Amino acid sequence: MSRGQGKNSGAKMAWVLLGLSVFGGGLGAVIASQLVSYRPSPEVIAANQEISRTENPLVTTGNTAGNSFCQYNALDSVTEFLYQIRTLNAIANDPLPTLLGLSSTVNADFIASLTPATFPKISDRARSAKIPIIMYHDITAIKDVSWDVIPEELERHFQALQEGGYTPISMDTMVNHLRTGSQLPEKPVLLTFDDNYIGQYKYAFPLLQKYNYPAAWSVHTRFVGTGGQKPKATWNQLREMHKSGLVTIASHTVNHLNLKDLSDEQIEKEVTESKKVIEKELGEKISYFTYPEGDFTDVAREQLKKAGYKAALAMSLDPSLERSANESEDLMSIMRFGQSRFDEAIAMASGGTSTNQSPFLTIVSDGSINFTTPVEKRTVTIDQLPLTLVFGGRVATTHADTRAQVEEILTMTPQAIAAVDGGFFSLERIDGNKMIGPVMSQFSSKAGVFINGNKGENPLLNGRPLVLISPTTIKFIPYNAAKHNSLEAVRAELVDVTDAFVGAGWLVRDGKPQPAESFGKLYGFDAVRDRAFWGIDRTGRPVIGVTMEMIDSVGLGKILVKAGLRDAVMLDSGASAALAYRGKSVMQYEPRPVPHVVALLPPDPVAAVENTEKLNCPVSLNRQVP
């Protein structure tokens, strides 16, 4: 049987039967307003802490009080992890199948992945990956020195990254990986720009925004805003880049002197004063340092540690010493490649072999939603099922006037980086855009209008997940046709709601895969087919995804839990399941056109500033122990 034929006939049938077959489904309506997030009460936390202390003699209290910054301590991490499981168990009032299941199969690996190497060592788990770090200096219209790069050349590099399937990662993602071995995208690359040239602001920053690539920026504080032959960006420009959420500012000393030539006192001054000034100007903790000319001494390394830096970037004028971040000696001497070696450097990029490790397991959810992380695509295979997942950014839906391929609707959605086909639609007219059930989209010819759908049909959708999106949060609540029938009614559930629609069913709910019963009478939920879905991962990031091979709904839910999803809603299955990323469909077939998508937009820059501290650290380590 050819894949295409099987899909078309089966799926068509599915959609025809969809509305009718769910009659009486009423799944989960009891759990009236079970939201995406929950937070343990202080009492529950206190109670569990007590259990944790008394039952685990090995476990300390994991005290991070009095230190607002992340302290990576192996025992603390395990303590926190055990504590979290206990808290979750207590709240759920039954064992958490996810975590218990994992502990029986990959327990040692899992625990180890939560155990960072002793600072400033690079974890053995990070040694199989290779992150090439590219070092740029000035970006200028006319080349002055050999290491200057013209904007066209820089864009060619960015295009090569995009076309080659590379994922530029942030400094935080890289350092977390080097410490713990946490999973990386397939071909990770880190872009760095040194010396704060105005040309970097003028040419590189707009390109970073265009491609949604994160980068690190090394700033020598005495030169900020200065003119001359090679003018430097101002504090306002640095603040603008920092607020974009894409640029991580690193200290590059005050005076840009080679630390090898300085006295201990001078080194201390260069290291601490630059940090203080940048922190004051940006209003945020600075964690990274870049050695002028790449040279460092033991004293310099000690001073950096003392000042509270988490990692330092080096470089060498000798190309034979250039190597990937993972092959560097430790976090205080991370090596880079000069941009002239771009091609050979990126060719080595590899996310490494991290079997059994989920990229998300090192972070325990605190139940919040996070719209501040860059959008990134990953292809993963879990229990033999290949998946394409796109994480991060903000969420919006688009309701097109006619049906189209998802990649076409993506181009109609301002700023959108990726999209997956969304809610139910009527099959009757192939060029129609009519949805089944209520729909409201921020991108639509009826933007912001709540279209209630067919009153007769809507009760058939009762109990399915009603998806509500606002600029700051996401809710999945059981749909009730009698109640959720107007803009006022959905505003009562989420006050600044911008998007609403009904999904096919919950695949994952509060971190648990959903059993067959939860799908009620959803037609074909147990059939093996292609499936599209979206949800929230354990770190609070939005996620859209498609299966690259066919599977049933219950099996998919179990796999999505392993992929780190906290909540996941099935959107579609069969012939119209489709996902597009940066203009291109990722599907191996041509899906049936659809009228509605869930899209990921670039991260929220305002919230990014407020939340950066939280982003840097596993959530469990941020908790202040009373």
Strand order in the sheet with 465-469: 439-440, 499-502, 465-469, 474-478
Strand partners, 569: 506, 534
Closer of 215 and 387 to Zn ion (Cβ): 215
Query: Minimum CB separation from Zn ion for residue 196, in Å?
Result: 9
289's tokens: 């340092």
On whether the CB atoms of residues 564 and 98 are closer than 8 A, the answer is no
Strand partners, 388: 379, 546
Q: For residues 60 and 66, what is the distance between their CA atoms, to the nearest angstrom?
A: 17
393's tokens: 């950014």
On whether the CB atoms of residues 34 and 478 are closer than 8 A, the answer is yes
223's tokens: 């030169």
Which residue reads 């990722």 in tokens? 586
Contacts of 442 (CB under 8 A, 6+ apart): 396, 397, 448, 498, 499
Closer of 146 and 353 to Zn ion (Cβ): 146
Query: Minimum CB separation from Zn ion for residue 220, in Å?
Result: 7
3-state secondary structure of 500: strand
Closer of 219 and 395 to Zn ion (Cβ): 219
Helix (H) or strand (E) holding 109: helix 97-113
Query: Minimum CB separation from Zn ion for residue 136, in Å?
Result: 11
Backbone angles phi, psi at 594, to 5 degrees: -135, 160
Residues that bind Zn ion (CB under 5 A): 194-195, 292
Closer of 121 and 341 to Zn ion (Cβ): 341
Q: For residues 474 and 396, what is the distance between their CA atoms, to the nearest angstrom?
A: 10
Query: Minimum CB separation from Zn ion for residue 373, in Å?
Result: 28
On whether the CB atoms of residues 121 and 331 are closer than 8 A, the answer is yes
DSSP secondary structure letters along 192-257: EEETTBHHIIIIIHHHHHHHT--EEEEE-GGGTT--SSS-B--HHHHHHHHHTTSEEEEE--SS--
Closer of 185 and 294 to Zn ion (Cβ): 294
Strand partners, 311: 288
Strand partners, 380: 387
Q: For residues 88 and 90, what is the distance between their CA atoms, to the nearest angstrom?
A: 5
DSSP label of 123: P
Closer of 194 and 530 to Zn ion (Cβ): 194
